[in-house]
A and B are shown apart, each in its own frame.
Chain A
Amino acid sequence: MEMLRIEGLYKRFGDKEVLRGLELSVPEHSIFGFIGKNGAGKTTTMKTVLGLLKADMGEIFVNGERVLYGKTDTNRYVGYLPDVPEFYSFMTAKEYLRFCGEITGMSQKENASRTDALLSLVGLSKETHRIAGFSRGMKQRLGIAQALLNKPKLLICDEPTSALDPVGRKEILDILLAVKEQTTVLFSTHILSDVERICTDVAFLNEGTAILQGKPADIKGGLQTKEYRIETKGAEGTALLQNAFGGMRKIDENKIIFSENDHDLSDVLRFMADQRIALLKMDQPEKSLEELFLEVTKK
């Protein structure tokens, strides 16, 4: 089932077209990485999903229910962590979570136990100071806690790891991984190593549309033109191969690369066997998401 579906979403600010027919489908229990450059429209998309911005055109469904601008009904399924979370600075972390619980209509008992559980999950249970004195990392962790408070079916995090040091980033990614069983996670980022680490699904946002969407493995597989890298023992073998097969690229004195469009792998291997060229290593080099992202956004 889909937890979030976006159909033909358009949004412009003045004469700046930010979203141009964005289509997005977030499956249930996925960790969905929403990737895009600065200014690509990630925050805009998320705010529209939350009913905070008015779409010019298009429809959004959360858990099958249509999102209406200015109405907050669908938000009962959603937990949201904004890019720069701001809380009532005159409260303590515990008071703030309690307040959030009361707003969502939790019972006193549930509120108390949930608040305590989440505070220890994000490591703020010993913090008794007011939020006014919190660091960015602490605010980000409190942000996750408040987003998870009402056990949302869909957790939307806007660049949750951008402001954090490597340890803080890992902590947040671990939290997201941990909650995968209970909720669907949609998070935006431009840190692709984070995506490779935890995402089950990704979409690349570029020029207002999702140019690539699916499982990371499929995307990588689908986009790679199959290339083989062969390492021979000594430079002579490489030279022989280059002479026999046109279009082979030499990348080191005993390493060459060729595309499967140019030559059949079995032909090459047969030739090597006939000529008694010693094979040290053969593999298919894989491009990282980062390289793919740069490649597809360049054109």
Chain B
Amino acid sequence: MNALIAFIKKEFFEQIRSNKLLILLMIFFAFGIMNPAIAKITPWLLEMLADSLAESGMTVTGVTVSAMDSWVQFFKNIPMALIAFVLMESAIFTKEYATGTLVLSLTKGLARYKVVISKTAVLLFTWSAGYFLCYGITYAYNAYFWDNAVAKNLFFSIVCQWLFGIFIIALMVFFSTVSTANTGVLLGTGGTVFACYLIGLVQKANKYLPTMLMDGNSLIHGTKSAEEYTAAIIITAAITLSLFAASIPVFNKKRL
């Protein structure tokens, strides 16, 4: 137990001293402000452009924005923040393989599964902290400028998107135990999401795919009901748990 705590402590230490945590929180913070800001300046932007739009035959009349526009921005921007997260944290295992630092800890009797648990815990924490920071900021600004009540199923859609992030973390951890290099992690994670996207082109398959959880916009607009997400949630949770569970035996047999 002490060894586990020590290793988790070391992981956090690394996140802080390498400035990764700070940079990630700043990215999420920036997106959190950007969402309402873009919504706020949209009417003004359109007004500025009104003349040139009129020339091309479009007329802009009294555009009004609400919290809804800001939430649409949120669900559009959060995948970008997630990509930044993946790019910054993808080497969390592979860097230790490359330098050989893990070998010394393991030869001191640290159980291998504790390495997997520690790194997973830190990833979960970092993602959750950044994500809910972004959410909190957007929520607060929206409440100040407009009214958050217009967005239907808001909390549910937020949880779905968060769960998708955890699914991505499970992919990162799993591909980190399988491959030895950073590129393997990125290809594996990116490839899986891309495969989901391709399968999703078949409309009927869509509601079973983890990528469905990113579709928060349909939820807040009410074009889809929460029940329609049940299958995707169950399947994503099952895949996520299986990936975490598989990572430990794979890592146990890994050549370091």
Contact = CB atoms under 8 A, between A and B. Distances in A.
Interface of A: 50, 52-54, 69-70, 72-73, 75-76, 78, 80, 82, 84-88, 90-91, 99-100, 102-105, 146, 149-150
B56 interface: no
6 contacts: A72-B106, A75-B107, A82-B100, A82-B104, A99-B10, A102-B9
Contacts of A87: 101, 104
Contacts of B109: 72-73, 75-76, 103-105, 150
B255 interface: yes
A285 to B, nearest CB: 44
A144 to B, nearest CB: 12
Contacts of B254: 70
Contacts of B3: 102-105
A88 B108 contact: no
B13 interface: yes
A72 B104 contact: no
Interface in B1-36: 2-3, 5-7, 9-10, 13-14, 17-18
Nearest to B17: A90
Given A52-B103, A149-B108, 4 more contacts: A69-B253, A70-B252, A103-B108, A104-B108
A172 B17 CA distance: 32
A78 B107 CA distance: 7
Nearest to A81: B104
Contacts of A70: 112, 252-254
Given A87-B104, A146-B104, A54 B7 contact: no
A105 B111 contact: no
A148 to B, nearest CB: 12
B101 A86 contact: yes
Contacts of A78: 107
Nearest to A54: B255
Which 3 A/B pairs are nearest by Cβ-Cβ distance?
A102-B6, A90-B17, A80-B107
B13 A90 contact: yes
Nearest to A90: B17
Contacts of A102: 2-3, 5-6, 9
B225 interface: no
A213 B84 CA distance: 57
B231 interface: no
A52 B110 contact: no
B256 interface: yes
B101 A103 contact: no
B99 interface: yes
B6 A88 contact: no
Contacts of A73: 109
B111 A72 contact: yes
Contacts of B106: 52, 72, 75
A99 B104 CA distance: 11
Interface in B221-256: 252-256
A65 B120 CA distance: 32
A205 to B, nearest CB: 21
Nearest to A106: B2
B105 interface: yes
Given A72-B107, A99-B10, A103-B6, A88 B101 contact: yes
Nearest to A107: B2
A80 to B, nearest CB: 4
Given A54-B255, A70-B253, A88-B14, A100 B108 contact: yes
A90 B18 contact: yes
Contacts of B100: 82, 84-86
A53 B17 CA distance: 32
Contacts of A150: 108-109
Contacts of A88: 10, 14, 101
B138 to A, nearest CB: 33
A54 B253 CA distance: 9
Contacts of A85: 100, 104
Contacts of A105: 2-3, 109
Contacts of B6: 99, 102-103
B108 A52 contact: no
A203 B17 CA distance: 45
Contacts of B253: 69-70
Contacts of B256: 52
B222 to A, nearest CB: 48
Given A52-B107, A103-B7, A72 B112 contact: yes
A11 to B, nearest CB: 12
A85 B107 CA distance: 13
A156 B252 CA distance: 22
A88 B102 CA distance: 9
Nearest to A77: B109
A294 B169 CA distance: 55
A102 B253 CA distance: 25
Contacts of A76: 109
Nearest to A78: B107
Contacts of B18: 90
